[in-house]
Structure 1
Amino acid sequence: MKLTRRTALIGAAATLATPGLLHAQNAAPLAAPLVTRNTSSFTKQSWQDHFSTLGVATIVADTQSRALHYWNADGTDYRVYPTSVPKTDELTRRGYTKIVRKKVGPTWTPTANMRARDPSLPAFMPAGEGNPLGTHAMYLDWSAYLIHGTHDTRKIGRRSSSGCIGLYNEKIAELFSITPVGTQVRLV
């Protein structure tokens, strides 16, 4: 057998790897860690941790894991959606609210505080491609807080809103179609 550079490298690698492989075979198995996040890094939520009943439907918006959790009235339909969340904790309102109105093709009127932070914002924006509310909006009983779509897909999964919860347009359309007015909502 002819000793070449390739065979020398393969032999050296095998020699170095052997002790690690033998140790791995004899090691005690590790206990499985308690999984509290799925592959998308969403923290698991249970509606029972937030509400006493499901009502007409239930939404929990988790600003830490940037996910919206939806359950229908009898709990047979559970869905999780990636979201954008408020840029800062000062813009984040937490607590209990509900869906009071829904609109396809929402118009947008920035609040006075938004315009003070960014004077370049228009006073009003009609529905359409440039509108930051996307294709659908669900209004909460907190003034100026919504669950809505976005045309800017880079915002999803980030701290990027002025207080609202944003979803991809195709996901807000899906959620909009199954969410009745009166749905109870909690932002955590």
Structure 2
Amino acid sequence: MRLLAILVATLLLSAVPSDAQVYAPYDGYDDYGGYGYDEPYSPYLPPPIYEPRPRYRNLAPNRAPITRSTGSIVIVTGQHALYYTTPWGEQYVYPIAVGREGKQWYGTTRVVSKKEHPEWRPTSSMRQKNPKLPAVVKPGPNNPLGTRAIYLADGLLRIHGTNDPSSIGTNASSGCFRMYRQDVEELYEMVQPGTQVIVHR
């Protein structure tokens, strides 16, 4: 009789799910040096409706010659879009912010250098208009250049991240081209100095 009772109890226990195997969602992703998980500067998250790494093929305008060793970048200001064609012909398109009216530049240039976690140094004219601007803004969540900067040949224009992702898709900058953090970090890894950059209206 005791054996039967033990068997019945064993069957009942095995049929009832145990709460010990139910785990709450893990939310400890912000334990890495005070930053969010995969998010070195917390304000950089794109809107939830945005897919940060679109890989659209064959969308780049056919106005940019492809340099086989470096690829090419075409920026279409009116579309708020940056098209990158890799040296092997794969094409990417990214949404960007462009310069405000009167601050837009058009023409052909090239990438001269790249910088991870760049400092931002406001120009003298910017500081004259806004004396509260510091001489240098160090890397961090207040840096308007974000986590990556790609410098163009004229020395002042850049393709870079932003501390204001809501500006993407608008005319908002002083002439530079802003990108979502995930996008500029991806482009940064692919683009090399010497890459041709063509900016259209």
Q: TM-score, normalised by structure 2?
A: 0.67
Compute the displacement of 1:52 (Å): 6.5
- 2:96 aligned with 1:83, yes or no? yes
* Matched residue, 1:15: none
Q: 2:63 corresponds to which letter in structure 1?
A: D
Aligned-partner Cα distance in 1 for 2:68–2:125? 35
| 1:1-188 superposed matches below 5 A | 45-46=60-61, 48-51=62-65, 53=67, 55-75=69-89, 77-88=90-101, 90-188=102-200
* Matched residue, 1:29: none
User: After the TM superposition, which segments of 4 or more aligned residues of structure 1 sit over 4 Å from their partners?
Assistant: 52-55
Does the CA-based 8 Å contact 1:96-1:184 persist in structure 2? Answer: yes
Please state whether the residue corresponding to 1:49 is helix, strand or coil: coil
* Matched residue, 1:5: none
Please state whether the residue corresponding to 1:101 is helix, strand or coil: strand
Please state whether the residue corresponding to 1:150 is helix, strand or coil: coil
Compute the displacement of 1:172 (Å): 0.2
Q: In the TM superposition, what whole-angstrom CA distance separates every residue of 1:138-174 from its partner, at most 9, and x where no partner exists?
A: 0000121000001211110111101100000111001
Which structure 1 residue ranges, 5 or more long, are not aligned?
1-43
Please state whether the residue corresponding to 1:64 is helix, strand or coil: helix
Does the CA-based 8 Å contact 1:70-1:80 persist in structure 2? Answer: yes
Does the CA-based 8 Å contact 1:114-1:162 persist in structure 2? Answer: no
Please state whether the residue corresponding to 1:130 is helix, strand or coil: coil
Aligned-partner Cα distance in 2 for 1:73–1:123? 38
Aligned-partner Cα distance in 1 for 2:133–2:194? 32
Does the CA-based 8 Å contact 2:66-2:72 persist in structure 1? Answer: no
Compute the displacement of 1:71 (Å): 0.3
Aligned-partner Cα distance in 2 for 1:187–1:55? 20
Q: In the TM superposition, what whole-angstrom CA distance separates every residue of 1:91-142 from its partner, at most 9, and x where no partner exists?
A: 1111000110000000000112222333332221111110000000000001
CA RMSD for the aligned pairs? 1.5
Aligned-partner Cα distance in 1 for 2:181–2:136? 21
Compute the displacement of 1:53 (Å): 4.5
Does the CA-based 8 Å contact 1:55-1:184 persist in structure 2? Answer: no
Between Structure 1 and Structure 2, which shows a larger proportion of strand residues?
Answer: 1
Does the CA-based 8 Å contact 1:105-1:136 persist in structure 2? Answer: yes
Compute the displacement of 1:180 (Å): 1.2
